Amino acid sequence: MFILARLKMYLWIVGAALVAVVTVYFRGKADGRHDLEYEIKDKRLEDIMKAKEIEDEVEALDDTGLAERASKWVRNDNGR
């Protein structure tokens, strides 16, 4: 009977340790996911701010400046 009680105590200790390890694992995984989501949102915000800055810069250009800037993106008319 003494051996069974001792075995039961060891099983409880092993079970508690296993639950602790699994809890720490999933907690770390959730924290990692949270950090990744934060980085993605931060990058998205930077991209939005950069796009807004470029849009404001283009709107401030006059027609000549806009044509000069757009000339590198528009195909040249080679008489075709």
What SS3 class is residue 34?
helix
- For residue 3, CA distances in Å to 6, 7, 8, 9, 16 come to 5, 6, 9, 10, 20
Which one has a higher pLDDT value, 26 or 70? 26
Distance, CA of 34 to CA of 27 (rounded, Å): 11
Nearest to 54 by CA among 73, 76, 39: 73
Instruction: Return the amino acid letter for 55.
Output: E
Rg of the Cα trace of the chain?
31
- For residue 51, the model assigns a pLDDT of 96
pLDDT tens, 1-53? Answer: 788 889 999 999 999 999 999 999 999 988 888 888 989 999 999 999 999 99
